[in-house]
Amino acid sequence: MDILCAIDTGVLCGVEQWFTDPAQWTGPAGIPVRLAEHAYYSVVALLVATAIAVPLGLLTGHTGVGGFLTTSLANFARALPTIGVLFLIVLLAGIGLVPVLCALVALAVPPILVNTHEGVRGVEPRLRDAALGMGMRGREVLFRLELPVAAPLVLIGMRTAAVQVVATATIAAYVGVGGLGRYIVDGQARQDLSMMLGGSILVVLLAVATTLLFAGLRRVLVAPGLRAEAASAR
Amino acid sequence: MNAAWDWAAGVLDWAVANWSYPGEPDRGILPRLLEHMRLSYAPILLGLLVALPLGLACARWKRLYPPVLTGVNVLYAVPSIALFFLMLPYTGFSDWTAIVPLTVYTLVILLPNVVDGLRQVPEHVRQAAVAMGFGPLRRLVFVETPVAVPVIIAGLRVASVATISMVSVASLIGLGGLGRLILSEGFRRQFDAPIVVGIVLTVLLAFVTDAVLVLAQRLLTPWARRDGGVGGGRGIRARRRRRRAAAAVPAEDAAVAADLTTTAGER
Amino acid sequence: MITFEGAAKHYPDGTVAVAGLDLTVETGRTTVFVGPSGSGKTTSLRMINRMVEPTSGTVRIDGDDIRGQDPAVLRRSIGYVIQQAGLFPHRTVLDNIATVPLLLGWRRGRARARAAELMDLVGLEPSQGRRYPHQLSGGQQQRVGVARALAADPPVLLMDEPFSAVDPVVRASLQDELLRLQKELRKTIVFVTHDIDEAVRLGDRIAVFRPGGVLAQYDAPERLLAAPVDDFVESFIGYDRGVRRLSFFPARNLTLDDGGVFEEEDRVERARTAVEATGVPWALVVARDRTPLGWVSARQLAEAPTGVVLGGLDLAPYGHTFNVATDSLRAALDAAVLSPAGRAVGVDEDGCVVGFVSQDDLGAAIWSVSE
């Protein structure tokens, strides 16, 4: 049964026992519930961030207005320490799910925004010229040309944001919400190394699953012509 | 408005009062800043040291690259906090617990840039070098590496900013430089000044480091100054990369990430 | 009919792109705007579909000021082909071609059917409809570009250096294709190029622009080659305009010599007699079906033993031929210059020899048309 414990009686065995304990898989502190909480926070934060950043990026990219501001903001955001942002927002707004979600959204907006903006700006001028010359109006140029061509970069921005949100949602357990980070925080508090490591492994799995999900989304949402073009351009 | 000024003045006062304590080398802001620099510069240098030979190998033996890149792609997704905790059983509470995972991140960001940079030499330049009698090693040193430098530095800029901001996370395992300021002095005591100081100093450190790298690039590659630096190369990617590079600090990230997905997805 | 009335484009920084253009583009003909870069030819073209708004003056289509129309609606009624085609990378070839019909609100099925029709018209295989632009060669992309511009059957077609990014061989075939299409469709085409040869080849009328956005000359190509108005136009056309101009004169008016043509079974003495009588130093030997075989010189004939057939002699190659019915004087001259006998062989549609013409006679013919 305990395969790892057969070869190693230390850390790995403890982690295996933690995972194989049936109590771990039920109840409000069980893995399914924690996983669902973590996924819930991440999905909500990502959706809200997307709803803010994609339209804004399309607007700045399409019009060219505010482009410098957008890229500067994104560069600045990249340098921000995530835990600083999270703790500051929670400190100012109070403990609770909403402040945590606000922090997650704040961290997820910049990569999506800058990639959407850059994706639209990156559409070759001759394509825009052809679109206008054929009689497309601004909105048609945006939705029939710029958005589909920018889609790969938008998705990459969303993936970067999603990975960051999953990671930061883990840290959010320090400010009292649920999710997989609870195992790490509670494990630290109880000096339970197996629990900390088990939680870490679950976070890794969720992050990798997120990356795979975006690889799948790319296949669905990006036109085959663009995917192949990117590949042949290599 | 006045309240905001008062608040900012309060933060500044706290920073000045707590900058350092003579006779107590581990107390105050300065030791945290120095620790932050140690914990971020070590992984950046180590990452570069590993990425260069690995990138050379990947550029030379092309079949090596796709599997390496897939691995890199997966590692890129792994949250730093999880890696820090997974290191604990092996390295305990030493600096290595932070340095090893952060080195991995630097490597992950740098490797595609090293490989792309080395591959970026236009075929006609490579052929001219061969025709003039350059052997493979000479070509690598005198032709391919100089062309790759701007791309590698671009990757280094992304990696350094990412690493400097990520070090703070290590505060959760008791390391983390300015992150400790944020967590122990600030959040645990419900006091905003240390958090703000921690954030500001992290951002400043990132920007100063970035500026140093830009300067290094200008000195190393005087020929690339005019077009913003990221070198020759043809095709969509080169163009995209130039656009990104033109977008000031490390907006390059998007291009790096773009390379990660296209390669992992299509190869 | 497209009319420019004092149309000018001045930029705020003081640059003058077009200095005030007065010009009429005839309906159903190909008008080429040609000139060096910075001469305002593209800007003038883009005024027609309001991609550029003139700062003063008016552009009319069939008498109506184009400013009276919504730009998007106007553009949907004007085909637009640009350099490197500008195909949408995320759409298949078929959907690229169907773009304007879909904008006009056609049902997808009808738009696709129309697109398939156009692929056939421009010489693309139906199987290429499902491909993506990057999978096509440059020449094929440009064909798709032309098909896309024609999709909604617009009366006017604007082509902005459409063939400049492909290699010369492909460019020539695209030009042939455009000439064939235009014969069939009779669109009002405005074509911009910096290549005077392309202009002469395609244009019914040519407008030469000079730097600074000034129209230097607007004429039929043969007139342009015959009488450039000034030094700028003359130097822009190039040094061999005299020879190039010959392409506008048909070869069918040439008088061909068929007295010096013999079949391969004919005996040497027959040709010898004829050659001695006319004084022409060469005779042309043809097969029984009248296809050319080669030249035999008067000296060969004099030295050959009597009784030998002409086909048994060592014949000099006959070189290029020219088609009497369809080729121009330029082709005839070219064939004459390249021929070892100094004579051009004229053939009919089936490749059968009609006769030959010497450089002297060609010179006289050229002299007479140049008058």
Contact A72 B248 (CB under 8 A): yes
Q: Which of A127, A137, A145 sits opposite C72 (nearest CB)?
A: A137
| ipTM field | 0.83
Average pLDDT for chain B: 80
How many angstroms separate the CA of residue B243 from the nearest CA in chain A? 8
Q: Is the dihedral of CA C329, C330, C335, C338 positive or negative?
A: positive
How many angstroms separate the CA of residue B166 from the nearest CA in chain A? 6
Q: Give the CA angle between residues C59, C64, C66 to the nearest 5°.
A: 50
Q: Which residues in chain A have their CB less than 8 angstroms from residue B71's CB?
A: none
Contact A130 C88 (CB under 8 A): yes
Q: Which residues in chain A have their CB less than 8 angstroms from residue C158's CB?
A: 133
- pLDDT value of position C268: 87
How many angstroms separate the CA of residue A167 from the nearest CA in chain B? 5
The torsion angles phi and psi of C69, rounded to 5 degrees, stand at -115, 150
Q: How many whole angstroms separate alpha carbon C335 and alpha carbon A146?
A: 54
| Mean pLDDT of the A219-234 span | 66
Residue A126: closest C-alpha in chain C: C86
Residue A230: closest C-alpha in chain C: C134
Q: How many whole angstroms separate alpha carbon A130 and alpha carbon A123?
A: 12
Helix H, strand E, coil C: the string for chain A is: CCHHHHHCCCHHHHHHHHHHCHHHHCCCCCHHHHHHHHHHHHHHHHHHHHHHHHHHHHHHHHHCCCHHHHHHHHHHHHHCCHHHHHHHHHHHHCCCHHHHHHHHHHHHHHHHHHHHHHHHHCCCHHHHHHHHHCCCCHHHHHHHHHHHHHHHHHHHHHHHHHHHHHHHHHHHHHHCCCCCHHHHHHHHHCCCHHHHHHHHHHHHHHHHHHHHHHHHHHHHHCCHHHHHHHHHCC
pLDDT band at B266 (very low <50, low <70, confident <90, very high): very low
- pLDDT value of position A223: 81
Contact C82 A127 (CB under 8 A): no
Contact A228 C132 (CB under 8 A): yes
Q: What percent of chain B has pLDDT over 70?
A: 84
Q: Which residues in chain A have their CB less than 8 angstroms from residue C73's CB?
A: 135
Q: Is the pLDDT of residue A76 over 90?
A: no
Answer for the pair C189, C29: CB distance below 8 angstroms, yes or no: yes
Q: Is the pLDDT of residue B258 over 80?
A: no
Decide if A21 touches C, using CB distance below 8 A: no
Q: How many whole angstroms separate alpha carbon C156 and alpha carbon C45?
A: 12
Contact C89 A149 (CB under 8 A): yes
Amino acid (1-letter code) at residue A121:
R
Contact C89 A127 (CB under 8 A): yes
Residue B206: closest C-alpha in chain A: A79
* Whole-structure pTM value: 0.80
- pLDDT value of position A7: 66
Q: Is the pLDDT of residue B260 over 70?
A: no
Disruptive mutation site among B187, B192, B205 for chain A (greatest number of A CBs within 10 Å): B187
- pLDDT value of position B233: 40
Q: Which residues in chain A have their CB less than 8 angstroms from residue B251's CB?
A: 71, 74-75, 114, 118
Q: Is the pLDDT of residue B14 over 70?
A: yes
Q: Which residues in chain A have their CB less than 8 angstroms from residue B169's CB?
A: 81-83, 171
Q: Which residues in chain A have their CB less than 8 angstroms from residue B267's CB?
A: 231
Contact C51 A133 (CB under 8 A): yes
How many angstroms separate the CA of residue A134 from the nearest CA in chain C? 5
Contact A78 B171 (CB under 8 A): no
Q: Which residues in chain A have their CB less than 8 angstroms from residue B250's CB?
A: 75, 78
CA dist B65 → B74, B126, B263, C5 (Å): 14, 20, 10, 62
Contact C86 A226 (CB under 8 A): no
- pLDDT value of position A2: 57
Start-to-end CA distance of chain C, whole Å, equals: 33
Q: Is the dihedral of CA A53, A56, A61, A64 positive or negative?
A: negative
Answer for the pair B66, B267: CB distance below 8 angstroms, yes or no: yes
Decide if A213 touches C, using CB distance below 8 A: no
Q: Which residues in chain C have their CB less than 8 angstroms from residue A127's CB?
A: 86, 88-89
Interface residues of chain C, partner chain A, Cβ below 8 Å:
49, 51, 71-77, 80, 82-92, 99-100, 103, 132-135, 148, 158
Q: Is the pLDDT of residue B241 over 50?
A: no
- pLDDT value of position C177: 93
How many beta-carbon pairs under 8 angstroms link A with B? 190
Q: Which of A81, A90, A233 sits opposite B168 (nearest CB)?
A: A81
Q: How many whole angstroms separate alpha carbon C365 and alpha carbon B173?
A: 98
How many angstroms separate the CA of residue C92 from the nearest CA in chain A? 7
Contact A83 B168 (CB under 8 A): yes
- pLDDT value of position A59: 93
Contact A135 C92 (CB under 8 A): no
Contact B86 A201 (CB under 8 A): yes
- pLDDT value of position B250: 32
Q: Is the pLDDT of residue B263 over 90?
A: no
Contact B82 A157 (CB under 8 A): no
- pLDDT value of position B237: 45
Decide if A134 touches C, using CB distance below 8 A: yes
Q: How many whole angstroms separate alpha carbon C329 and alpha carbon C366?
A: 8
Per residue in A92-142, pLDDT tens?
888 888 999 999 999 899 999 999 999 999 999 999 999 999 999 999 999
DSSP codes of every residue in C113-155: HHHHHHHHHTT--GGGGGS-GGGS-HHHHHHHHHHHHHTT--S
Per residue in B111-139, pLDDT tens?
988 998 888 878 788 888 888 888 887 88
How many alpha carbons fall within 13 Å on the CB side of residue C158?
23
Decide if A225 touches C, using CB distance below 8 A: yes
The torsion angles phi and psi of C215, rounded to 5 degrees, stand at -75, 120
Q: Enter the tokens of residue C287.
A: 């097969």
What are chain B's partners, defined as 3 or more CB pairs within 8 angstroms?
Answer: A
Q: Which residues in chain C have their CB less than 8 angstroms from residue A229's CB?
A: 89, 132, 134
How many angstroms separate the CA of residue B251 from the nearest CA in chain A? 7
Decide if A130 touches C, using CB distance below 8 A: yes
Q: Which of A78, A197, A215 sits opposite B253 (nearest CB)?
A: A78
Q: Which stretch of DSSP H or E encloses residue C303?
A: helix C298-303
Contact C74 A145 (CB under 8 A): no
The torsion angles phi and psi of B19, rounded to 5 degrees, stand at -55, -55
Contact A126 C91 (CB under 8 A): no
What are chain C's partners, defined as 3 or more CB pairs within 8 angstroms?
Answer: A
Return per-residue pLDDT of chain C as tens, 371 residues: 999 999 999 999 989 999 999 999 999 999 999 999 989 999 999 999 999 999 999 999 999 999 999 999 999 999 999 988 899 999 999 999 999 999 999 999 999 999 999 999 999 999 999 999 999 999 999 999 999 999 999 999 999 999 988 899 999 999 999 999 999 999 999 999 999 989 999 999 999 999 999 999 999 998 898 889 999 999 998 877 888 888 888 888 888 888 889 998 888 888 888 888 888 889 999 998 999 999 998 888 888 888 888 888 888 988 889 998 888 898 899 899 888 888 999 999 888 999 999 888 888 888 887 76
Contact C73 A149 (CB under 8 A): no
Q: How many whole angstroms separate alpha carbon C176 and alpha carbon B181?
A: 75
How many angstroms separate the CA of residue C209 from the nearest CA in chain A? 23
- pLDDT value of position B235: 41
Q: Is the pLDDT of residue B105 over 80?
A: yes
Of B35, B199, B171, B151, the C-alpha closest to A76 is: B199
Q: How many whole angstroms separate alpha carbon C276 and alpha carbon C288?
A: 24
pLDDT band at B25 (very low <50, low <70, confident <90, very high): confident
SS3 C57: strand
Q: How many whole angstroms separate alpha carbon C190 and alpha carbon C149?
A: 13
Per residue in B151-204, pLDDT tens?
899 899 989 999 999 999 999 888 889 999 998 888 888 888 999 999 999 999
Average pLDDT for chain A: 88
Q: Which residues in chain C have their CB less than 8 angstroms from residue A136's CB?
A: 72, 103
Q: Is the dihedral of CA C363, C365, C366, C367 positive or negative?
A: positive
